[in-house]
Structures are given as structure tokens and as C-alpha cells.
């Protein structure tokens, strides 16, 4: 699926639509440059999944866990160079069969993701416009 959005609200709305396709155990990999809108889109999905707490970038930790109708994990592996060099149990608490997990900057963890339900790529098109590919 290929979409263009022209503001954060539209990207959130696209995320809300993606929520309908997801179920427990699914992992969604979200790629794109800094500021492309990865966290914004994940915020939209989380809203639609019944998460009421604020959805923000994980900064001092690799991830957040939210309560929703389905429990949700939100990982950001930006600072993680190579998962092999880290504690392999690092992702265990986030990737569980009952959760839906969203992963920003997934490259470092790529081999560890077993149930990838969707891959999302967000690209800058200038200003507030973004191209969003969901495969």
C-alpha cells in the first residue's frame, strides 16, 4: 500500500487504519529518517488499539509498554548497533505472543523478529508531506 499524507494528523489517521489489521503477537517494523513520522504513525495505531497514555519516543530506554485493548510494545533501536553485542534477553519483555509490537529503527534487531505482520517506510517529500509505504 502506498499513501501520501500532508500533515501529522493524516499520518496518525493512517496508523488508525492499520490497527484494524493487527492482532496479538504481530510485529510491525517502522523505518524512515529522523522526523519522518515513525512515532507519529505509531501514536495513531496505539490510539486505535485503545492506548490512552501518551505515546512518545523511547529515549532513556529501548522501549515502552502500553496498556490497550491488546497490550502494545513500542521499541526504538536507534542506539542499538548490533543486538548480538547486547543481552539477547533485551527484547524478550517486549516481543511476547500477547503483545503487538512496533519497532522504530529495526535493523539491529532484524533477525529477532519472528512474526512481522507489516513493514512501514516513511519518506520525506518536503514540508509536511510524507510518502508512506506499507508492505
* Sites of contact with ligand ADP (CB under 6 A): 5-8, 10-11, 32, 34-40, 57, 104, 128, 130
Residue 57 lies near Mg ion (rule: CB under 5 A): yes
Residue 43 lies near Mg ion (rule: CB under 5 A): no
Q: Distance (Å, rounded) from C-alpha 87 to C-alpha 89? A: 5
Which one, 88 or 126, has the nearer CB to ligand ADP?
Answer: 126
Region of 22-30, 55-63, 65-73, 121-129 interacting with Mg ion (CB under 5 A):
55-63
Residue 110 corresponds to which cell in the numbers above? 532484524
Burial of 101 (0-12, 13-18, 19+ CB in 10 A): buried
Which one, 11 or 100, has the nearer CB to Mg ion?
Answer: 11
40-75 per-residue burial string, b: 16 or more CB within 10 A, e: under 16? bbbbbbbbbbebeeebeebeeebbbbbebebbbbbb
Q: Distance (Å, rounded) from C-alpha 108 to C-alpha 132? A: 22
Region of 9-17, 61-69, 102-110, 117-125 interacting with Mg ion (CB under 5 A):
102-110
Residue 38 lies near Mg ion (rule: CB under 5 A): yes
Q: How far is the CB of 115 from ligand ADP (least distance, A)?
A: 22
DSSP string spanning 56-68? Answer: ----SSSEEEE-S
Q: How far is the CB of 11 from ligand ADP (least distance, A)?
A: 3
Q: Which residues bind Mg ion (CB under 5 A)?
A: 38-39, 57, 104
Amino acid at each position: 500500500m502506498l499513501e501520501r499524507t500532508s500533515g501529522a494528523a493524516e499520518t496518525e489517521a493512517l496508523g488508525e487504519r492499520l490497527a484494524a489489521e493487527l492482532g496479538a503477537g504481530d510485529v510491525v517494523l517502522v523505518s524512515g529518517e529522523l522526523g519522518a513520522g515513525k512515532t507519529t504513525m505509531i501514536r495513531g495505531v496505539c490510539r486505535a488499539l485503545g492506548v490512552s497514555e501518551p505515546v512518545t519516543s523511547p529515549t532513556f530506554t529501548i522501549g515502552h509498554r502500553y496498556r490497550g485493548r491488546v497490550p502494545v510494545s513500542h521499541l526504538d533501536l536507534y542506539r542499538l548497533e548490533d543486538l548480538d553485542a547486547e543481552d539477547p534477553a533485551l527484547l524478550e519483555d517486549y516481543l511476547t505472543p500477547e503483545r503487538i509490537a512496533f519497532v522504530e529503527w529495526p535493523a539491529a534487531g532484524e533477525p529477532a523478529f519472528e512474526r512481522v505482520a507489516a513493514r512501514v517506510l516513511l519518506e520525506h517529500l518536503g514540508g509536511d508531506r510524507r510518502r508512506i509505504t506499507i508492505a
